[in-house]
Amino acid sequence: MQSDLFLGIDQGSSSTKAVLLDGAGDQQTSFHSPVPARIEEERCVEQEPEGLLSSVVEVILKAQEWAAREGHEIRAAGLAVQRSGVLAWRAEDGVPVHPMITWADTRTHTMIQDIGRGGEKISQVTGIPTIPNFAAGKIHLLQRRFLERSIHVGTLDTFLLYRLSQRQMLMTEDTMAARTMLYSLADKGWSDLLCRHFQVDPKRLPPIRTSLGAHAVFQELPIVACIGDQQAAVIGRSRGSRRPLLNLGTIASLSVDTGADIVQKTGLMTSVLLSRMTSAGYVREMRYLVETTSPITGSVLLEPLRQGWCSDTQQLSDLCQSAAAANPKGLATAYFLNRQPIMPRWPDGIPNTIVVKSGATDADRARAVVENVGNLIVRMLEEFSDKDLLGDTFPCEIDIAGGGSELDYLIQYIADASGHILHRLKSRDASARGAALCAWMASSNRFQAHELNTEEPERTFRCESPERRQRYLVWQRMEQDLVNDTLPAHATQEHY
């Protein structure tokens, strides 16, 4: 055999991706498998779990076939999983008895609303806001629907490991448990108080293990790491980069690694980044992160394609460039803030809107939609800056990854409107790469990947047109005009 490889798998809501890294951290090849589409109806968003499992198995088999053909051996695998999805399955054979209720599902909205001011105390314990997207309410619903102990209820990682291990492993790990609203950051485990609050039977919750460790064996391949997908994206940079990471996938996630310190900031999410046992085997080491997300980013960037204004990402970027060249100050501003299934930012009845002036073209509209996403990202960056999470220097340097990072116009707009420096990573599959690095760390008994090759940025975006900052400020002002129904006379609304 030529060398050992490490397989990283990213099971996401839109696809399952995988990469193979060698012992130096260099990517050798990648794989991709489609997943079942989400089924959306009002607040309910579900996904078929057998299809998700099949996509994971498919990329593993593809990787093993490639490695055997090329004379390599896959030493271990790491698994990154979309967070906060909950499902139920039979213990005897692992067959699902209920679709996965995804992170985007908000059917427990009324239950969460009834918590009222008690949500602040819950957030202090969990580090995350008390909202219906997280898993506690969904676990409550499925435990009540399936009362028998022969039915397991858990998050997606638990189901995948249960099936991949041939029903030998029933567990979750710290990063996934910490996103349920049932996990105490201080106690590093399930909270009896929170379980009582959400009427969840703690005896039916799976044991919590560390992110790095012996989790399962599938087709003689040890799966030695399991972690949330956004956490994996933060890990997926060589030499332990501590720069903030902006990951643009189905959602936009801005994260900062805070190391061993639990840092809690009002309105932001504090969670576990990674956990492992020390070499002595009796102390659990933890790393933490602070994060904010915009759940609608991926959906909004598809809007120009849905409307037929362009046919692909490159054409969309070209369309935005042509609109900016023709009308630098722009003729349209978009407010796509409440696409279903996400809870509306504005009161019910205010749809997604593009505010246009006379003469606006489809190119202007496409540019407005893309800049809308950029403005949401700039707002996230400003919130982090206001809460002292971007460091003491300006401009701040930020890593950027994910499929949305391929849109050059968007990234340059963010750099221009925020003033920060954005480093686009070569690998778009940051979560899959992070999962592979986690497998490397678990196999080498190291907590950070300092010895691996540095992944140099593919391209660095610096502020080139500071006047674009004015477009962000106009977007903010007009947002309030929409809410207050005080748009200027020359502006009209188009609803989508």
Domain ranges of the chain: 4-236, 297-426+459-495
Given a cut of 80, whether residue 363 has pLDDT beyond it is yes
Residues in the chain: 496
Distance CA 151, CA 422 (A): 47
Phi, psi at residue 102, to the nearest 5°? -80, 175
Distance CA 32, CA 37 (A): 15
Domains 4-236 and 297-426+459-495 share a fold: yes
Q: Which residue has the tokens 């213990």?
A: 91
**Confidence at residue 132, expressed as pLDDT on a 0 to 100 scale:** 92
Given a cut of 70, whether residue 448 has pLDDT beyond it is no
Kindly write down the DSSP assignment for every residue of 244-277, as one continuous string.
-EEEESSSEEEEEEEET-----TTSEEEEEEEEE
Fold designation for 4-236: Nucleotidyltransferase; domain 5 (3.30.420)
- The CB density around residue 149, as the number of other CB atoms within 10 Å, is 10
Chain segment 54-105, per-residue pLDDT in tens? 999 999 999 999 999 999 999 999 999 999 999 999 999 999 999 999 998 9
pTM value is 0.90
CATH architecture observed for domain 297-426+459-495 = 2-Layer Sandwich (3.30)
Distance CA 10, CA 427 (A): 13
| Cα–Cα separations (whole angstroms), residue 107 to 40, 48, 76, 251 | 11, 17, 38, 19
Token representation of residue 286: 């933890």
Phi, psi at residue 252, to the nearest 5°? -100, 130
Instruction: Tell me if 250 sits within 8 A of 12, measured CB to CB.
Output: yes
Instruction: Tell me if 284 sits within 8 A of 277, measured CB to CB.
Output: yes
**Confidence at residue 131, expressed as pLDDT on a 0 to 100 scale:** 92
Phi, psi at residue 196, to the nearest 5°? -65, -40
Distance CA 8, CA 55 (A): 14
Q: CB-hemisphere CA count at 13 Å for 286?
A: 19
Task: Give the DSSP H or E segment for 27.
Answer: strand 27-34
3-state secondary structure of 493: strand
Chain segment 184-234, per-residue pLDDT in tens? 999 999 999 999 999 999 999 999 999 999 899 999 999 999 999 999 999
Q: Cα torsion for 321, 326, 328, 332, to the nearest 10°?
A: -90
